[in-house]
Amino acid sequence: MYSQYDESIKTKVDINACKILANSWPKRVAVKNNNLDSSTYYDISIPDYPIELVPFKEDERFISLDESVKKKILAAAWISYNEKTMDIEATVTGPACSSLLSGKFRGFDIADLKRLLVQTQVDENFHFMMCLDACLLTRKMHELEALKLPRSLVTLSLLDNLKNQNDDRKRDLLQIAYAAVAEVTVNAYLDLLADHQGIQPFNRETTRWHRVDETTHRDVYKNFVIAMYSYLDIDEKRFFHQALGMGLDAFVKIDYDAWLTILSHLGISDAEAIINSCIQRSKGRRILRDYRGFLELLSQLGVTPSEVDFCFSEDV
Ligand SMILES: [Fe+2]
Ligand SMILES: [Fe+2]
């Protein structure tokens, strides 16, 4: 099947692992096979989202709010987390899979890679549906139907970079780089939510199922990137490194706009002051991500971390 590819691609892409993953998909795909029943949800005494993930949790103005208002803030934060995920599935990862499937990049005339690409797209659509259900339920339970959140910083950053890029090839590389960051660096939030015993069990289960699929996507996406990268010319490789840096930067930014929207929507009088002092206090603070898989991918590509313009240390 891949006779037209040079030997280096055959050894770099883990063809056997791709075949095993593609063949196991019908049983493996977690979100499709889960039995979550939203009708057994809801215990009003349990928060939707961990309070320790609120960036202004130590602000006296937040601490002094009524418990019922705090619960609404946490419910809105859970909605925001899910809508951000949906935005990324639809705008970042889905289109990247389409681009790799479109034949624009060499390296994908391998049957099992094509099957994995389509399976990954299907997984992301299931995740989209699951996140939407979670949002709708929480919106209804907390009367948050009118809450309108801004688009995620990650998608805004990608769309902005795409808008400023006229070269179609580079636009595709940007799309794939952002998706690679999304899929290969694990969001520590997903782990925190999936294992958290203090939030709605439905929310915990939802993220636990999502994590099962995303753990596989991490390995799958590494093979996608290796297959594509091996055929890029030197300029394209250089641009891809830059695009990875842009993606990494976008993914670790805390979305203060979303938090401000939540507080303003709930009529918190000090909303702007709370967010402003939070920004002042937490200059340089980032959303935690696990870079181990990403650094491993760079080494498989023969790229040193210094070729990607990003600080991988958490001490920034
Ligand atoms: Fe996903
Ligand atoms: Fe994914």
Instruction: Considering only the C-alpha atoms of the chain, give the largest distance between any 2 of them, rounded to a whole number of Å.
Output: 67
Report pTM. 0.90
- Cα(66) to centroid(ligand 1), Å: 35
- Cα(76) to centroid(ligand 2), Å: 23
Give mean pLDDT, residues 120-148: 93
Of 19-23, 32-36, 137-141, where does the model show the most confidence? 137-141
Count the Cβ atoms, other than its own, within 10 Å of residue 220: 22
- Cα(286) to centroid(ligand 2), Å: 21
In whole angstroms, give the CA distance from residue 179 to residue 175.
6
Instruction: Pick the closest to residue 262 from 159, 149, 165, 154 (CA basis).
Output: 149
Q: How far is CA 87 from the centre of its chain?
A: 9
- Cα(215) to centroid(ligand 2), Å: 8
Q: Which of 22-36, 168-182, 282-296 has the lowest average pLDDT?
A: 22-36
- Cα(280) to centroid(ligand 1), Å: 32
Strand partners, 186: 290
pLDDT attached to residue 30? 66
- Cα(178) to centroid(ligand 1), Å: 14
pLDDT attached to residue 284? 75
Which is more confidently placed, 284 or 247? Answer: 247
In whole angstroms, give the CA distance from residue 215 to residue 250.
21
- Cα(34) to centroid(ligand 1), Å: 15
Question: Binning pLDDT at 50, 70 and 90, where does residue 4 land?
Answer: very low
- Cα(83) to centroid(ligand 2), Å: 15
